[in-house]
Structure 1
Amino acid sequence: MQCILRIKDDGQGFAIDRDSSHNGFGLLGMAERAEIIGAQIQIHSALGQGTEVAVSVNQQEKPS
């Protein structure tokens, strides 16, 4: 089973390729937490077009 969380806004957006050390640790922290639980994170953003963050995690099924 897969669970997907998708959060999207229509705000100002930002350049993802910028050095995160100048912008704080928000995106880095999200990526680290996703890795801890075995999830994948995708961040899409463009100036003037908003941002979308999607996290997907596969739940391992318990043996019957």
Structure 2
Amino acid sequence: MQHTTRRYSRIPKRSVFNYKERRARLEAAGYTFLRADSDTEAVLQLHRRERPECLKKLRGLCDDYT
């Protein structure tokens, strides 16, 4: 999946359990999304905003993101 600017890409491999919470916070901060329900897109936007620090905020199938 690519970010809306096409600058960032992510290949989905793992499930992120708290992406809805992260997505809601990003939407409140003015970020937009192309799909209605995608953990991949939420991770891309979070990375755009916080760079590698975003990995500390993700909870998922494998909590070894950092």
TM-score for both structures, normalised by structure 2: 0.31
More strand by share: 1
RCO higher in 1 or 2 (8 Å CA, sep ≥ 6)? 1
TM-score for both structures, normalised by structure 1: 0.31
More helix by share: 2
Of structures 1 and 2, the larger Rg is shown by 1
